[in-house]
A = this chain, B = another copy of it.
Amino acid sequence: MKAKIYITLKNGIHDPQGQAVQQSLHTLGFDSVHDVRMGKLLELDLQDMEKESAEATIENMCKKLLANTVIEDFRYEIVET
Name A residues whose Cβ lies closer than 8 Å to a Cβ of B: 6-8, 18, 21, 24-25, 28, 30, 32-49, 57, 60-61, 64-66
Is the pair B34, A45 in contact by a Cβ cutoff of 8 Å?
Answer: yes
Q: Judging by beta carbons under 8 Å apart, are A32 and B8 in contact?
A: no
What residue in chain B is nearest A37 (Cβ atoms)? B43
Docked-complex contact B30 and A57, CB < 8 angstroms: yes
| Residue in B30, B40, B49 whose CB lies within 8 Å of A38 | B40
Q: Report if A45-B35 is in contact (Cβ < 8 Å); known contacts: A61-B30, A65-B25.
A: yes
Check A41 against B44 for contact (C-beta < 8 Å): no
Whether A61 and B6, one on each chain, are in contact in the complex, defined by CB atoms closer than 8 angstroms, is no
Check A35/B42 contact, CB under 8 A, given A24-B65, A25-B65, A65-B21: no
